[in-house]
Amino acid sequence: MNYELALKLEQAGFPSDAKVGWKVPNLSELIEACGDEFYSLQKDSDGWVAMAKSEWIVNQNASTPEEAVANLYLAINSK
């Protein structure tokens, strides 16, 4: 995960226990932070796809599963 995405997570209120600086969450933490809205994560020919239970929230073509779920978290929390 790059710095810009980690910063967006921080600005969106992603839970962090980091005392100083920014935290790069792992996949489990990202999925847990999406809460009940998280539905699935899969890999297709274009990259990783994370989906929420709300069918209109889908993040496609991420290069890593962490990136896909991080962007899904941002989409869920931008409502």
Domain positions in the chain: 3-16+30-76
- pLDDT given for residue 20 in this prediction: 56
**One-letter identity of residue 23:** K
- pLDDT given for residue 28 in this prediction: 96
- pLDDT given for residue 17 in this prediction: 65
The DSSP bridge pattern shows strands 38-44 and 47-52 to be antiparallel
- Say whether pTM exceeds 0.85: no
C-alpha dist (Å) from residue 16 to 30, 48, 59: 11, 24, 22
Edge to edge, what strands does the sheet with 38-44 contain?
38-44, 47-52, 58-62
Paired tokens of 12:
């969106």
Element (H, E) at 51: strand 47-52
